């Protein structure tokens, strides 16, 4: 089974020049905590509700002036739509991430896969269980 079999398609995105207010409003509307940041279909990064809170709000950045590009995670981990589910589950566990953008071989965004997708759609539930166990392991605080 490949990621294209279980991923979520038609993912909403924000642009790098959008404000964090727009990103937060879209997250609220969609009831999600992460959005891909794209230039057209090209994946540039990811922005999370945590990025907005920790990187922007705690630093006193104004939501209507702060651009997504100022607080997004650049060079995100991603997978290809034809990657095996078990490989992506291993990536998620190793990197302790719950959502991974999915790109085609031209590296255009085509979807996103979440731990929930693995748990509900994958035929081999060991992949989801293993990823969840690793993702949930305590990590060192980022004090950089």
- The pLDDT assigned to 120 comes to 77
Confidence of residue 36 (pLDDT cuts 50, 70, 90): very high
Give pLDDT tens digits for 80-90: 999 999 999 99
97 in any annotated domain = yes
Please report the sign of the dihedral spanned by the C-alpha atoms of residue 27, residue 45, residue 36, residue 32. negative
- The pLDDT assigned to 135 comes to 47
115 in any annotated domain = yes
Who wins on pLDDT, 26 or 118? 26
* Alpha helices (H) along the chain: 20-30, 49-50, 68-71, 85-95, 115-121, 125-135
Domain count, the chain: 1
User: In this structure, what CATH number is given to the domain that contains residue 81?
Assistant: 3.10.580.10
For residue 134, give the 3-state DSSP assignment: helix
DSSP 99: E
Who wins on pLDDT, 26 or 96? 26
Range of the domain at 14: 3-135
Encoded tokens for 106: 């031209």
Confidence of residue 119 (pLDDT cuts 50, 70, 90): confident
74 in any annotated domain = yes
Confidence of residue 74 (pLDDT cuts 50, 70, 90): very high
143 in any annotated domain = no
- The pLDDT assigned to 103 comes to 97
Which range is least confidently modeled, 71-75, 104-108, 114-118?
A: 114-118
142 in any annotated domain = no
Q: Given a cut of 60, is residue 144 above it in pLDDT?
A: no
109 in any annotated domain = yes
141 in any annotated domain = no
Q: Are strands 99-103 and 34-39 parallel, antiparallel or unpaired?
A: unpaired
- The pLDDT assigned to 70 comes to 96
**Is the pTM of the predicted complex or chain greater than 0.75?**
yes
**Mean pLDDT, residues 35-63 taken together:** 94
140 in any annotated domain = no
């Amino acid at each position: 089974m490949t990621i294209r079999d279980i991923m979520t398609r038609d993912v909403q995105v924000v642009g790098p020049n959008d404000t964090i207010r727009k990103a937060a409003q879209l997250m609220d509307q969609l009831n999600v905590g992460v959005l891909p940041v794209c230039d057209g279909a090209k994946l540039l990064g990811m922005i999370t509700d945590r990025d907005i809170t920790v990187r922007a709000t705690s630093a006193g950045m104004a939501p209507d002036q702060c651009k997504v590009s100022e607080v997004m995670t650049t060079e995100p981990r991603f997978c290809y739509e034809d990657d095996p589910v078990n490989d992506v589950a291993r990536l998620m566990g190793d990197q302790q991430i719950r959502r991974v953008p999915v790109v085609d071989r031209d590296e255009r965004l085509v979807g996103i896969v979440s731990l929930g997708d693995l748990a509900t759609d994958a035929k081999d539930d060991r992949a989801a269980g293993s990823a969840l166990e690793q993702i949930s392991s305590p990590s060192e605080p980022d004090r950089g």
